[in-house]
Structure formats: C-alpha cells, structure tokens
Structure 1
C-alpha cells in the first residue's frame, strides 16, 4: 500500500461512515477544551521548543503576510506573531471548536488586528494565488485527507520565493528511544487522552497517524512533486519530531 493510501486510511473513528476530513473536524471539536493542556503535558513542554525552532527558519525571510494552516487554537500563530512580528497572520482550520478557543485567546491578548482565525480547508484555500510570504503548519499535515492536494494549495497561495515550514511528528529509529517512544505513544497517550480529554479514540488515532505518515526523504519528495523547491528535513529530539522547509 502506498504512503498516500496509508494516510487516507487512518481515521479517528474506524466504524464511522464520515469522511476522514469530517472525522478530524469532529475529533478536534470534542477535544478542543483540553487540546493545549494535553499538548504541553504529554510532551513535557518540549513542543514549545519545537515550535520556536520551526519559526526560526523564517527569521531571515521576515515575512509580512503569513498563513497558518490547521491553526487549531492559534498557538503557533500567536508565537509567530511574537517572534517574527509580521504585519498579519491568517489562521485556518476545519474545526469550529478549536477556532472558538483560539479566538478567545487572541481576544484576551488583544491581537485581533494582528491575527485572524477563520474556518478553512487546506485542500481548498480561499485566497488568491501568491498571497502569502510564508506558510506554517504545526502537527496538521498528517491529518489532511489528501496530502498532495493540501500541499499543492499551499504552494499556489505562496509568493515566489516564499517559504513553507511544516512541523510534524515522526518515528524515531534509534534504540532505545524508538522503543520508549512506541510504548508511550501506543499505551500511555490513549489513556491520558481518555482521562483528561475524555477521548481515547483521538489519542489512539495520534500514534496511528504518525506511523502512517510519509517521513524524511519520502515527504521531501512529495513536497518537490507538488511544486516546492529547496526542500529540507531536520529531525528534532532523537527523531520524535521533524521540521520540513521548502520554498516556492
């Protein structure tokens, strides 16, 4: 089975008749109220360092207009605003529940004029060609129903010379990190999800989706085939996470 087929086959609710996209939206609506807490708790806060390292890839570019795809509750967009100080960031997501929590944070921080969150699908981005200087995606591309279509859309709305930065989980290969990682992700993560977010299905989906997602050179090849150039992959924390960078 191809990587594309594997990614599309992995869904949160195996018995559901809904499409993967619809299931993802429903899943994130269900866990939105605990999403930020669980991210930081389960990664012991290291996810914050991963995000900072990813955003540093855009420092020299100094983007003015940014798009944050699968923005969720806006954490990455808020951090990008602080570290990069662009003119404006637009965040899109298919989960209304996540966006609602994100908007509350943005309003509380007084960032309404700097960050706009709106419902949006990565596979049909409702912006003209060559709109953005930079596009970011943190822990979202493995949830795309059609990975190539989503990447092609991001390439379309990126300005020539603009940069895409993707932060995504990956599978470590070094002993004993690989074994510990698999143990934690396979058995402990679903229990924490059930206990804290009341959703074991969502946090059982997490390790399955990471395992099925194309990684390393395979992902780099997909980015190249969807129109990107100068594609690189940098692994973090023994390969638990990866930063993919690409330009148009």
Structure 2
C-alpha cells in the first residue's frame, strides 16, 4: 500500500517536468489524481487519473478541476505547480511583461489554492496545500535577469506562510517547494536564452555553471522533486506547515 493510498490530489502544470513526475509518483503511491494543464499528455493514462485541460488564470477551468475532485468525494492534496519563466532585464520590463508572469505564477497559484481550500474546508478532513516556488525567490538569479520571475516566486513562499497560519484551524497545512537546477523544459529554455547571450553552446554553458555553482555538480531530476512532494502530501508530514523546502543540490549553501 502506498503512502497516498486512496487520497485525492490535484496537480497543476501536470503536462511535463515536475508536474508530470509528481502525477506519476502520486499514482504509484495509490492516489487518485486530477492532472491539470493547458496541454494534455495523451501518453500518460491510468485508471486513477483524470486529465483536465485548462489554464490556471481562468476561474472556470479551475472549477472544472475541482468538480472532478468532488466526483471522487473529497480533496486531500493540491499541488499548485503551473508556472512560466521570463528572462528579461529589469530596466527593460513593462507592466505587461510583469503581469504575464505574476498572473500565472502568483495569481494562478492563489486561485488554485483558494478553490482547493474551500473544498477541503467543506470536506472537514483537512488537507495539504503545496506550491512550487524557486530558489530564485530566495536570492534572485545572478546569472540570469529574471526579476519578475524571482518576485513571483518569493510571493508564493510568503503566500504559503500566510496560508499556514490562516488555515491551521481547518487542519490544512501549507508548504512551498523551491527547486534549483531541475532538468525540465522550462529550465532548458531559459538556459538556451542565457547561453545565446554569451555566444556559448547551451550544454557547455550548463556544464560550467553546474561545476562552479552547484556542489553536487548535476541537474536534479523532476522525480526527485516529486519525492519531496510525496512526503509533504503524506500523513507523515501532518505537523509540517508554513515552510519552504529547498531542493537545489546545495546551490544556496555556497
């Protein structure tokens, strides 16, 4: 029996990377999962998996995902993982470019967790609210101008601390996970932008960065982040709330 046996979970940004790995791990641990993304992974199928195609900035799409959880009769876990990146110098940023990032990375997370919290409160059994932040929100990114992204992720961590306080009376915990260099499509897209700026090969640029900035000297796998989410979603983490968990190969230990 898995550690999430018969729990019902919603995971946003489930189509690839950390979200997809989390869906796969949750299913392996016995959960029933509603996977939410703008693009459905047709290859990922399971008897306990329901795909919902939608956008976290659209309230009606989020409500559709919540309605699928209601069909299971409960909601135990919500992982607000959907996000976007943005490489852009602060002095060149505009209100529009900032709002594109904030709308998904912060408001989308807020809307997702708000809808989930309402459902958990109605159920009366408590629950786990989880969100993907980033180490960029803890220090900024010296090697990549991404001020809007860093700001949005710092706000997510503040949101989870506030929710931990506000929702504790309902036995709902709230925690953030702050990944570092994880091998995802989004990470590699940012890498290609930065390596091009320096006229470097993307893989060589990444290799050099890992050697000089990440003590473990490698990228993290999405499955490793999924493992952390599995713990935080489990009953073993019932006394863990209001925290941000770094998973960065020691990058911020330097």
Please indicate, yes or no, whether the TM-score normalized by the shorter chain is above 0.5: no
Structure exhibiting the larger radius of gyration computed from Cα positions: 2
TM range (shorter): 0.3 to 0.5
**Which has a greater percent of strand?**
1
Given the two structures, how large is their TM-score scaled by the length of structure 2?
0.44
